[in-house]
Amino acid sequence: MKRIGMLTSGGDCQALNAAMRGVVKVLTCSGEDIEMYGFLDGYRGLIYSDFRMLTGADFTGILTKGGTILGTSRTPFKTIKEPDENGLDKVEAMKQNYYKLRLDCLVILGGNGTHKTANLLRDVGLKVITLPKTIDNDLYGTDMTFGFQSAVNIATDCIDCIHTTASSHGRVFIVEVMGHKVGYLTLNAGIASGADIILIPEIPYDINKVVEAIEARDKRGSRFTILAVAEGAISKQDAALSKKEYKEKMKNYKYPSISYEIAEKIQKKTGKEVRVTVPGHTQRGGSPCPYDRVFASRLGAEAGRSILEGEYGFMVGYKNREIVKVPLADVAGKLKMVQPDSAMVKEAKLLGISFGD
């Protein structure tokens, strides 16, 4: 008999259900007796022993279903060692609930913060396997995360739709794409949709360079310009500030987001009409695309195989088109950033895309 716990933590995304299904399909098809415990709403469920028993039937028909059947929540790593409002030691509570249920393994699906806590649980003796989930594709140790391609598809569709109205009205349109710290989603969606300007956190922009790119399109006879802007895009001036100075500046920030600040500056400098579109959480919603269904199923299958063989303490990742096992200690606390001198950025520039630098 193997007793397996499972939870999804952090922001939701497409293919969480597909990945969990992949794990369970392997376990149930093995013929071994399995007990499955699903912890509800992420680490919160493990902390407060909020779980339900799962059977194979719970994973039927969920391959194409977005979100997560277990629910999710954010439990910030920076406060995980602090007692809760009632003085409960959260790490000790997770350990005790793991041992109380006599679990053989805990399968955790999540992004960067989730992996920090997963590695902490590994450090205190729990047997853990993780699966890389995030639409930002910013997890270290894996070339791809599930949810990313589905989000790229949605952001691309949004920018595609903007093209016709931008062309009709001869306007500048800004589409704000998710990504606070890392710009993979904006970069990929921007190239896929033919955006003229792409602004990402890793390449601080100069608003004058952005305006130059817009005016250059005007001179070539283009009626419109489309900008794909990551929500974490930052100007060169702000990037030069210290963390303390930047936080102080943001206390009095008057815009809903960076895209509205950029829009106002472009409008003042060019006199053009500028419109902002924010697809927001639609990028994390809906059914997973076929790529993510296959990818998440493959990751889940490898996790299931590893559980049967008693291998723990790693993230199931993807490197050089192969499924790999990456030690959690090598993943936790590291971000995979877009490199400004990467081949993809260079190729985008060859295509005439401006990054405002």
Calculate the average pLDDT of the chain: 95
pLDDT recorded at residue 266:
96
> Are 94 and 308 in contact, with CB atoms under 8 Å apart?
no
Burial of 282 (0-12, 13-18, 19+ CB in 10 A): middle
Task: Examine the residue annotation and report whether 84 is marked as an active-site residue of this protein.
Answer: no
Binning pLDDT at 50, 70 and 90, where does residue 172 land?
very high
Which CATH number, 3.40.50.2300, 3.40.50.720, 3.40.50.150, 3.40.50.450, labels domain 2-147+288-331? 3.40.50.450
218-243 pLDDT tens trace: 999 898 999 999 999 999 999 999 98
Against a cut of 0.85, is the pTM above it? yes
pLDDT at residue 31 in the model: 84
Q: What is the pLDDT of residues 136-148, one digit of tens each?
A: 999 999 999 999 9
SS3 96: helix
- Which tokens belong to 148? 């990313």
Query: What's the alpha-carbon Rg for the chain, to the nearest Å?
Result: 22
Domain ranges of the chain: 2-147+288-331, 151-284
Q: One of 12, 41, 58, 136 is an active-site residue; which one? A: 136
Q: How far is Cα of residue 305 from the mean position of the Cα atoms in its chain?
A: 25
β partners of residue 228: 175, 198
Tokens of 329: 């200690």
Domain 151-284 has CATH 3.90.550.10: no
- Length of the chain counted residue by residue: 357
247 pLDDT tier (thresholds 50, 70, 90):
confident
Of the pLDDT bands very low, low, confident and very high (cuts 50, 70, 90), residue 168 is: confident
pLDDT per residue as tens digits for the range 69-115:
999 999 999 999 999 999 999 999 999 999 999 999 999 999 999 99
